[in-house]
């Protein structure tokens, strides 16, 4: 009995699921970054650690970066500026938030051809300290149920009258 590639692929455990690749041509630049600005290196590696598998992007505030790295907001801001000037990452403004896109030529996780979507989706990291004070209470509250209408359902709009059910439609046996 022969197995298809699909069946074989489904049987093999995802050994490389949690990996990040670094282009060898950027290794010297990473060594220099670690020597010149260890804080920037720490921020960069935190973003690489949390970037999306096919996106290379993370949405994260300065406050959250300060908390997770145990650095001041000023140190985080200087490190981000340094990384942007060094072309190690780009910052994309999304309203009041920022998406940090790690240089996809240096770091990546998925196939090279999946990298072109880096700017359009991201891992979002939210800090508890940045939430409203009643966040935990709101989190326990059930959200409003949104009904799903299938293609076979009849949608009533406004004052449409619904005719009574036909008894022949009912399975009474």
Domain ranges of the chain: 5-130
> What are the residues whose beta carbons fall under 8 Å from the beta carbon of 29, sequence distance 6 or more?
86, 88, 106
pTM listed for this prediction: 0.60
Q: How open is the CA angle 89-54-88, to the nearest 5 degrees?
A: 10
Structure tokens at 82: 């340094």
Q: What is the mean pLDDT of residues 96-118?
A: 68
* pLDDT given for residue 11 in this prediction: 52
The answer to whether domain 5-130 has CATH 1.10.10.10 is yes
In this structure, the number of other CB atoms found within 10 A of the CB of residue 78 comes to 16
Q: How confident is the model at residue 71 (pLDDT cuts 50, 70, 90)?
A: very high
* pLDDT given for residue 92 in this prediction: 82
Per-residue DSSP letter, 52 = -
Q: List, in sequence order, every residue forming a beta bridge with 58; answer none if it has no partner.
A: 100, 123
Spatial separation of the C-alpha atoms in residues 36 and 41, rounded to whole Å: 9
């Amino acid at each position: 009995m022969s197995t298809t590639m699909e069946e074989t692929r489904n049987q093999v455990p995802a050994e490389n699921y949690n990996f990040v690749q670094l282009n060898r041509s950027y290794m010297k630049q990473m060594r220099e970054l670690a020597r010149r600005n260890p804080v920037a290196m720490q921020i960069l590696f935190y973003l690489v650690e949390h970037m999306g598998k096919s996106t290379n992007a993370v949405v994260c505030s300065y406050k959250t970066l300060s908390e997770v790295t145990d650095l001041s907001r000023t140190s985080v801001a200087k490190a981000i500026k340094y990384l942007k000037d060094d072309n190690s990452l780009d910052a994309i403004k999304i309203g009041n938030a920022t998406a940090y896109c790690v240089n996809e030529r240096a770091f990546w996780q998925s196939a090279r051809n999946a990298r072109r979507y880096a700017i359009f989706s991201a891992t979002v990291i939210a800090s508890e300290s940045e939430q409203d004070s009643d966040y935990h209470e709101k989190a326990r509250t059930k959200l409003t149920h949104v009904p799903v209408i299938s293609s076979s359902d009849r949608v009533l709009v406004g004052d449409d009258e619904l005719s009574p059910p036909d008894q022949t439609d009912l399975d009474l046996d």
